[in-house]
Amino acid sequence: MNLSEMSSLKGRDFITTQEWSREEINHAIETAVHLKKLKKENKPHRYLPDKTLFLFFFDKSTRTRNSMEAGMTQLGGHAHFISAETSQVAHGESPKDMGIILASYGHGIAIRHDLVPGEGNAYMREVAQHAEVPVMNMQCDIDHPFQMFADLMTLREEFGDDLRGRKIAVSWAYAPSYAKPVSVPQGLISLMTRFGMEVTLAHPPEFKLMPEMIKQAEVNAKAHGGRFDIVDSMDAAFENADVVYPKSWGILDLFGKPEEALAIAKNYKSWICDAKKMSLAKKEAIYMHCLPADRGSEVTDEVIDGPQSRVYPEAENRLHTAKAIMALTM
């Protein structure tokens, strides 16, 4: 496979899926499929020899950090992990200075900055403004594009490339662990409507998403023959769904006061994905989650470990789609 056939992606930032055309997204997924095959066959695929990627984390990570680090190794390059709290950013170093300097050391900068609405995406864009290498979003306050590409790849493996008319239920679910970012549900409603899916969003009244992302989903659905609806119960969202994607997220106005958001969330402990709710979806429906899932709160073991669950293939695809983005842009 000739990765240079879409040379316009070389040097491109990867900050939201919306900024990539459907043609570019399709090419990235096709590249991920190719790279997955090569890995399964134990065939070398060092498309990024001697390249360096800096991984800058303001938040914790398992799948994202390890898919990026392993992916760069398999592509022949190297990834540096940087924790924001142990870097000079903790002392006030500007995104401009960090971007210019790291760009002079390597070939790409990836950033996770997801827990403060209004900050993460803006920070990445400021770095990108000054960095002469691709800047990649490993999850911000608005979108989680690497996860979205893995989800799209997983859906296509399950249902084929044409997802038009397939219903996906994107639902809030209860979790006691912490007030989680809103970027995954926002990324789902934004991307899946672009591929003709019928997207139903469900959440309690306090757990709204960003208005601009709701508007984007509406525009995308209208432009691409999809559908976007908002309901007020998990049951309503799951009805006749092909895909269910229930996960927790926080309250936009309370990310600075997470204990208040968690206290409100306790009113909705019934928002759990269990066998009864799964029975509302189609018989062949699949369960997805970006992980980690709060077992016993967001979802029962019966569901996440059951035959309808696709969380492990979905998590594996984080590696292949991450490699595709890095190989195409760096």
215 and 230 inside one domain: yes
Q: pLDDT under 70 in the chain at which residues?
A: 1-7
| 114 and 162 fall within a common domain | no
What is the pLDDT at residue 8? Answer: 81
Model-level pTM greater than 0.95? Answer: yes
Considering the domain architecture, whether residues 307 and 324 belong to the same structural domain is answered as no
Do 127 and 151 lie in a common domain?
no
Give the position of tokens 């119960």. 233
* 65's tokens: 């950090």
Nearest Cα neighbor of 142 from 215, 204, 81 is 215
Same domain for 323 and 279: no
Same domain for 60 and 156? no
Look up residue 30 and give its amino acid: E
* 158 in the same domain as 75: no
What integer pLDDT is reported at residue 315 of this predicted model? 98
Q: Total domain count for the chain?
A: 2
- Residues 71 and 196 both lie in one domain: no
DSSP string across 61-95: -SHHHHHHHHHHHHTT-EEEEEEGGGSGGGGT--H
Do 200 and 88 fall within a single domain?
Answer: no
Task: Identify whether residues 305 and 166 lie together within a single domain.
Answer: yes
E strands present in 193-297? 198-202, 227-231, 243-247, 286-287
Look at residue 235 in the predicted model and tell me its pLDDT.
Answer: 98
The reply to whether 199 and 306 lie within a common domain is: yes
pLDDT tens figures, 125-183: 999 999 999 999 999 999 999 999 999 999 999 999 999 999 999 999 999 999 999 99
Region label for 109, one of left (φ > 0), alpha (ψ between -120 and 50) or beta (otherwise): beta
Would you state the structure tokens that stand for residue 28, as one six-digit string? 């990235």
Domain carrying residue 77: 3-144+319-329
> Tokens 């229930």 — which residue?
246
CATH of the domain at 84: 3.40.50.1370
